[in-house]
Structure 1
């Protein structure tokens, strides 16, 4: 390759200088610590907050190890294809592209990064951590295992590594947000710590972490929250999960309740009872800011519930003729029947409202009635829809409840005062999952803790939720 033997010998123990001189990158102080640790130690484990530059370090390590060892093998893994290919593998490509020293010797493909002419003997390869054998079969004098987002990788994937690391030239580098209180990664910072060189990188100490990111997490969740601990401070979560919505926020919003006057929009969330002891709840919210008293029904008859919802829609349309109505129905389980009945009658409902207004002599724009099919187990994301939003939810349940939490935090939502609703909103817990996303406690787990199904809170969350509609174009 383009580097002469003396340079290779020098850089083999000086990865920081390799990155600066050959890759032409500028690692910060904590990135330098990570790089040098791999040169000096067989086992390195890094727990950190979000955005400190771990993926860049991993890509530099791959290129450094390929360039300074004969016939190395570098198995790389992560919990998801997105993390492995879209982030880590793309990062390697970025640093190799247009590099005058390396671009002709190290070749990048979607499956492998390898030394020219030695595809099968001198390479790095990406394997998702979805199978126990993902990291099996890599035998060489020089092996470097890269484990990205290591807290989310199951122990069974780590087992083949232990035997391979008996070779003197072998190295292991694993890094990630510390999201789990069990597992191989957790143990590397606790009971097995003596075997590793462990690094802890607090996002507040990193020049690469945006102050706005830290400020948003701090203001929204507080420095004692698991979201802050995992995403910013790089600490493992507390032993007991946090409540997602603080009770004092609910009490404050309930005390500030005012009756609606002339809303421009009414959102109605309908949570349909799934079991005998659950309740069906119809919850109107005016202009996304004022909750009206919800209707609560203790039955699972979809036809009757659909009829009651239609009555509510017609009555609200008559009382508030200037308002659009957006009806959002929980369609998991029995709710799909309620949705289907109302959807079949949608045009008739609009006509009936128009006829009633005409009979009452009400002059108003044509009635706007939108109907949405909603699912609590749907796709997650951010409440804002912005990929740069630092608070990401694992599924649509989190998005719905996240919209309630944000509105309560910003004090732009007043709640109908009810102790049962306050209890439901403030008793649901959350964890930060292995992807750094917020994941709410499942209803089954709440019931095991002796809590009822949060039907009133779910109906409120549906009302505030803004479902994303997709348009499909045929090419």
Structure 2
């Protein structure tokens, strides 16, 4: 008499064969074309593509234990949650003691959308009886592995990132999923990177989102850190099952190149997010401006100094002459005012500057040291009253002048990524009186952005009108300081 065959044995054998192949698992673990999947004969093309990237990465022993990072920016309705569900079920089904952490832009999104959608794919999979699906976690039903073989839905906080710091699973598999990644705080990204250090471990980090902001870590997956990430930008119109009539209406109403179509339809980052003060378009244009010396040499030379505020900030010194600009110095925070003043004095003489403006917040000691040296540097209070009533304060006014300068053809060094990020980083603060107000450096840090010290240093060069000095040497070795009027926007 034949021994009774346990149907679980066949599932275990299948799962073992798909250990390095989420593409195959996604095809066989669900009843495509039946029930809730009646209208679907298999994963969508873009989902197959992601699964192939993972399969090929794992199939190669040389790359298998190197972290794989995938970023997917898309329009609406492409099936991001479904892909997260299939991948989660593959990792939990095909790997013993798999560890998965999923988070989203808000706890509400995580609890009401991300977790239920992933749970649905577990409940309908071939291995549904293997797992206990709850609102905050999915665990193996094996009593000896319930705590080590699990997926957790973890809300984040920039003030409490310990849940991501402890994500380790040496010798096995880690899957880290970010949903609506544009609005996940940069500090969470930084801590999550600590999970990429285990040796001989399969580590897969996948981030999904609509590209609503053109700053922050999700944006940088496609720009500054693109060498670390496999990137995909998916147009909703190319995906089966999306509402093509609605998407076309968005295009007809707003235009193919509008920001709303870029974000909601094309999966591209906006030229300017809703609250962003200076657009990426203007900053990109400034990177591509090439000036001949005669186009700016007649203008006054102005130096802006923004001292470091906190230990991780840097002191920045920028020069502007007409439409030309460049960074003169970047140094770590230095509380020795005399030493900093000597540096500024040397740069002032070297570039024959006509004016030096210093942020008064932390620059009073520097300017006092300069006065001892006979220098006439100007302290600028960012919170001071603006000469233009359309701006709340002096800082907003200076940034407003810098914005006009960029639009008028101002040039920045295309190699200076830090200045570029500083320029596009600050957002405005809504006000009932209509005055333009920029968010503070503290507020920028709260949303994970660095303090824009270099951007502020350049803005300082617009603090006050500057007259170009006639430096013709007269008898007795003295210089004629006669002023020559100059309009930077002429």
The higher relative CO (CA closer than 8 Å, separation ≥ 6) is in 1
Q: TM-score, normalised by structure 2?
A: 0.48
Q: TM-score, normalised by structure 1?
A: 0.50
